[in-house]
Chain A
Amino acid sequence: MLTIENLHVRVAGKEILKGISLTVNPGEVHAIMGPNGAGKSTLGNVLAGREGYEVTQGTIEFGGKPLLELEPEERAAAGVFLAFQYPVEIPGVNNTYFLRAALNAQRKQRGEAELDSMQFLKLVREKLAVLHLKDELLHRAVNEGFSGGEKKRNEIFQMALLEPKLAILDETDSGLDIDALKMVADGVNAMRAPERAFVVITHYQRLLDYIVPDVVHVLADGRIVESGDKSLAHRLEEHGYAWIAERKLAGAA
């Protein structure tokens, strides 16, 4: 589904990703862990198509097609979704209106029929229930005045509504209390399916107790330095990221 090969990315003239290769198959959940500044969020942003990230080398294929040639909205229509680390507040833009416009824009691009407001509201109610989000949030402006936890749950709600093929969760767990974390995890787990893949970017192993990954990668200094099964996350939690750095040094020596 997603094949990243030897990806090098610069931000503001500084090389952040230094040759990443990663293959994600349908149905899999990949966790990307790593210390601050390792390039985790850069990877998420490059996949979603944010400006300001210069790919100097390497390729990304999604569904057999080159992803980097697509505009952000084309990537969304193709099935890429990024749950933002810092969801943006957009005053004056109604949440429901925005979500319906987004869903219909995607459907239109895929040549599917657009949903009318009745069909859309029915879909919204189904998805809201899973995330325990209040109806009232839908009538407000996008993320405006939402608490940190509400913003993150709103991201997962959007994901549930848009039903992407590949969902990238960028530190969705940061700033969440244990209840909100469980709700987010429930939302994600409810969406796990043989045709859908997840890339879960996180700093802590805690989230991975609830969203159990198939593969765990450790990203340090712009490279994947270690990959393994879910037990890798536990070992990291025990030893800390310094342990990885030491192993890396040992390997290089």
Chain B
Amino acid sequence: MDASLIDAFGTGDAREREESWRYSKAALRALSQQDFTEADEQAPLSPALRAQFEWPQTQGRRLVFVNGAYAPACSDTSGIGDALTIAQAVDRRTLLTIAAGFGGTLHLVYANVPSAGATRWQASSEIRVLGGSAHVVEQHVGEVGADVLGALVSQFQIDAGARVQITTLSDLPDSVSLYRRTQAALADDAVFGGAHAILGGRLQRFDIGIALAGAKARFDSRGVFALRGRQHADVHLDVRHVARDTACDIVWRGVADQRARGIFHGAITVAAGADGADAQLSNKNLLLSPHAEIDTQPVLEIYADEVKAAHGATVGQLDERALFYLRSRGLPLEEARRLLIGAFCRSVFADVTEAALRERIETLLDARVLAGGGGA
């Protein structure tokens, strides 16, 4: 599927012309000037890298991919049982089928391991959820070193009445670039929820394409990108209400410090005949430095009658009144900033019900966004 994705991403030729890459052109061009060779799928994982994803909570339910390739030796599937089937196909393509009895969490880990020179990988996964409810944690980690460029296409097929929650945690060193495209088609009464944290990386592009194809299907998306240095993140949501009485609720936030660059594009289309649709989008962003930039673009296109829709987007700075209030009570400036930025990001993950996972995300947010405190 879409074998040309990484080529397009790496060279930028085809997509550079596209409107959807307009804010990432320069970052793409820099990448396209490098020579990438195929990444080593046998690369060993360091203990430090393993420590990032070997969580006790997901023991026995963890699939690890090294530079895009499924690595059974690094994975731990002892607790998965019969409800999940894993099939491998050519071109680093993995097919996962989750039956109704699965329950619990499936942990997918994508490890970026550098070689001597710049390398790249591309992989795809097709995840079919037949029924019941499943929670997928998709985690992207990387080793510091030479440049790695990865591309992952995840295709979800969510059958009638099934519920899928995906939590993605992409925490990458500045030498790793990652292009993710997550697509989902939802049948009647299916529910797809996502919570995403995008931290670090040289260039992170994340496309989410959703088709609410079945009646009463519902999509929820929560996410944050928190960037510093010269990190660059570009998030595109494209939600299509096709069937009747479908709903989407999108809440994303962005923080950019120093010279970081963030882009949020949220497009919702309500097709003709998709009456009773409820579409909500909110995007708030925080600039922590005069050299940081965030571009946000909510797009709402409605071709149906009887639609409830609302969208809003803001880019602003830390609330000076709140900052003074905290300082007047004795909190040092840096601590007051941390508290406000942390609160801004964390609010998005209030719906993540697994406390251990939520704490993990919060700890990472605190460590990555606030390292060194920022300062204008």
Note all chain A residues with C-beta closer than 8 A to B328: 48-50, 72-73, 75-76, 81-82, 84
Note all chain B residues with C-beta closer than 8 A to A162: 329-330
A101 and B320 contact, Cβ closer than 8 Å, known pairs A90-B326, A91-B347, A92-B343: no
Note all chain A residues with C-beta closer than 8 A to B347: 91-92
Q: Does B340 lie at the interface of the complex (its beta carbon under 8 Å from any beta carbon of A)? A: yes
Bound Cα distance A84, B324 (Å)? 11
Q: Does B335 lie at the interface of the complex (its beta carbon under 8 Å from any beta carbon of A)? A: yes
Contact at A88–B335, with CB atoms within 8 Å?
no
Contact at B333–A92, with CB atoms within 8 Å?
no
Closest to B336 in A: A73
Q: CB within 8 A of B322: which of A71, A82, A88?
A: A88
Q: How far is the CB of B286 from chain A (nearest CB, A)?
A: 12
Contact at A71–B333, with CB atoms within 8 Å?
yes
Closest to B345 in A: A92
Q: Does B316 lie at the interface of the complex (its beta carbon under 8 Å from any beta carbon of A)? A: no
Contact at B324–A73, with CB atoms within 8 Å?
no
Contact at B324–A90, with CB atoms within 8 Å?
no
Bound Cα distance A50, B326 (Å)? 11
Closest to A110 in B: B330
Contact at B326–A98, with CB atoms within 8 Å?
yes
Q: Give the total of B residues in contact with A, Cβ under 8 Å.
A: 23
Q: Does B357 lie at the interface of the complex (its beta carbon under 8 Å from any beta carbon of A)? A: no
Q: Does A103 lie at the interface of the complex (its beta carbon under 8 Å from any beta carbon of B)? A: yes
A158 and B329 contact, Cβ closer than 8 Å, known pairs A88-B321, A88-B322, A90-B340: yes
Bound Cα distance A83, B109 (Å)? 50
**Per-position binary interface string of chain A over residues 140-175, scored 1 when its CB falls under 8 Å from any chain B CB and 0 otherwise:** 011000000000000000100010000000000000
Note all chain B residues with C-beta closer than 8 A to A84: 325, 328
A73 and B322 contact, Cβ closer than 8 Å, known pairs A93-B340, A101-B339: no
Contact at B346–A72, with CB atoms within 8 Å?
no
Contact at A76–B340, with CB atoms within 8 Å?
no
A103 and B330 contact, Cβ closer than 8 Å, known pairs A50-B324, A51-B324, A90-B340: yes
Bound Cα distance A77, B344 (Å)? 27
**Per-position binary interface string of chain B over residues 181-216, scored 1 when its CB falls under 8 Å from any chain A CB and 0 otherwise:** 000000000000000000000000000000000000
Closest to B334 in A: A73
Note all chain A residues with C-beta closer than 8 A to B321: 88
**Per-position binary interface string of chain B over residues 266-286, scored 1 when its CB falls under 8 Å from any chain A CB and 0 otherwise:** 000000000000000000000
Q: Does A26 lie at the interface of the complex (its beta carbon under 8 Å from any beta carbon of B)? A: no
Q: Does A189 lie at the interface of the complex (its beta carbon under 8 Å from any beta carbon of B)? A: no
CB-based A-B contact count at 8 angstroms: 76
A90 and B322 contact, Cβ closer than 8 Å, known pairs A101-B335, A101-B339: yes
Q: CB within 8 A of A102: which of B330, B343, B344, B346?
A: B330
Bound Cα distance A43, B299 (Å)? 47
Chain B's interface: helix, strand, loop or mixed, by majority?
Answer: helix
Which residues in window 72-88 of B have CB below 8 A to A? none
Contact at B327–A73, with CB atoms within 8 Å?
yes
Note all chain A residues with C-beta closer than 8 A to B342: 92
Q: CB within 8 A of B339: which of A73, A88, A93?
A: A93
Note all chain A residues with C-beta closer than 8 A to B322: 88, 90
Q: Does A106 lie at the interface of the complex (its beta carbon under 8 Å from any beta carbon of B)? A: yes
Which residues in window 151-206 of A have CB below 8 A to B? 158, 162
Note all chain A residues with C-beta closer than 8 A to B346: 92
Bound Cα distance A218, B53 (Å)? 66
Contact at B324–A102, with CB atoms within 8 Å?
no
Closest to B344 in A: A92
Q: Does B331 lie at the interface of the complex (its beta carbon under 8 Å from any beta carbon of A)? A: yes
Bound Cα distance A109, B327 (Å)? 13
Contact at A90–B343, with CB atoms within 8 Å?
yes
Contact at B329–A76, with CB atoms within 8 Å?
yes
Q: Does B332 lie at the interface of the complex (its beta carbon under 8 Å from any beta carbon of A)? A: yes
Bound Cα distance A132, B8 (Å)? 65
Q: Does A105 lie at the interface of the complex (its beta carbon under 8 Å from any beta carbon of B)? A: yes
Q: Does A35 lie at the interface of the complex (its beta carbon under 8 Å from any beta carbon of B)? A: no
Bound Cα distance A33, B44 (Å)? 74
The 6 closest A-B CB pairs, nearest first, are: A92-B343, A76-B330, A106-B330, A102-B329, A72-B327, A88-B325
Q: Mark B residues whose CB is within 8 Å of A.
A: 319-322, 324-333, 335-336, 339-340, 342-344, 346-347
**19 pairs from A and B in contact (CB 8 Å cutoff):** A49-B327, A50-B328, A51-B320, A71-B333, A73-B330, A76-B327, A81-B328, A82-B328, A88-B319, A90-B322, A93-B340, A99-B329, A102-B326, A102-B329, A105-B331, A105-B332, A105-B335, A162-B329, A162-B330
